[in-house]
Amino acid sequence: MLGLAAAGVGIAAYAFYFRGILAGKTKPHVFTWLIWSLITSIVFAAQVQKGAGPGAWVTGVTALCTFLVAAIAFKSGYKDIRLLDWFCLAGALLGLGLWITTNDPLSAVVTVTLVDAIAFLPTFRKAYHKPFEENATAFALNSLKFIVGLAALETYALATWLYPASLVLTNGAFALMLLLRRRGWL
């Protein structure tokens, strides 16, 4: 039940995000979303391999949705691509390479979790200057979905819980930053 609830919250979060994109209010950073789609797919595969069970469903739904956002962002998203963005993409690919060469999903999860936090920087940078071009509700729900997803895990190993735990923090901090910037308090 918790796995379904987490996936449902994830779908709701992306419904808000897609609505914002279609209305022209939300402009996703293309490279961030491309990197997130790669990273989330890697972590989903690692969670499945490590026996996360229904706790991985939210990561799988997120991987699909982030690929959709990335595809849309290529057409109508924010495209201020900088050197940091390329380093983050290389880091995501490094995580995949580590898994392939070591046959250990944990090394990939640790690497891509760090890269994911760094990959958030372009979106933080853009949203700090344009806080109305991101959807605070979607990011708050994304934080919530991973709280529920963590509770749905069948196996608690670093490879299954590290990434979702980090997303609880980064998505929550991002939503809070958006709200504070919109009110002029930051």
CA 179 to each of CA 102, 128, 133, 139, 149: distance values in angstroms, whole numbers, following the listed order:
42, 10, 12, 11, 25
Contacts of 155 (CB under 8 A, 6+ apart): 50, 51, 52, 53
Rounded to whole angstroms, the Cα distance separating 146 from 6 reads 7
Write out the two tokens for 10: 């994830």
Domain ranges of the chain: 2-182
pLDDT of the residue at 123: 82
pLDDT of the residue at 56: 96
Contact 154, 51 (CB under 8 A): yes
Rounded to whole angstroms, the Cα distance separating 85 from 122 reads 7
Mean pLDDT by 10 residues, the chain (186 residues): 95 94 88 88 93 96 96 84 84 83 88 87 88 94 97 95 96 97 94
pLDDT of the residue at 75: 86
pLDDT of the residue at 118: 84
Total-model pTM: 0.88
Query: Phi/psi zone of residue 53: left (φ > 0), alpha (ψ -120 to 50 degrees), beta?
Result: left
pLDDT of the residue at 31: 83
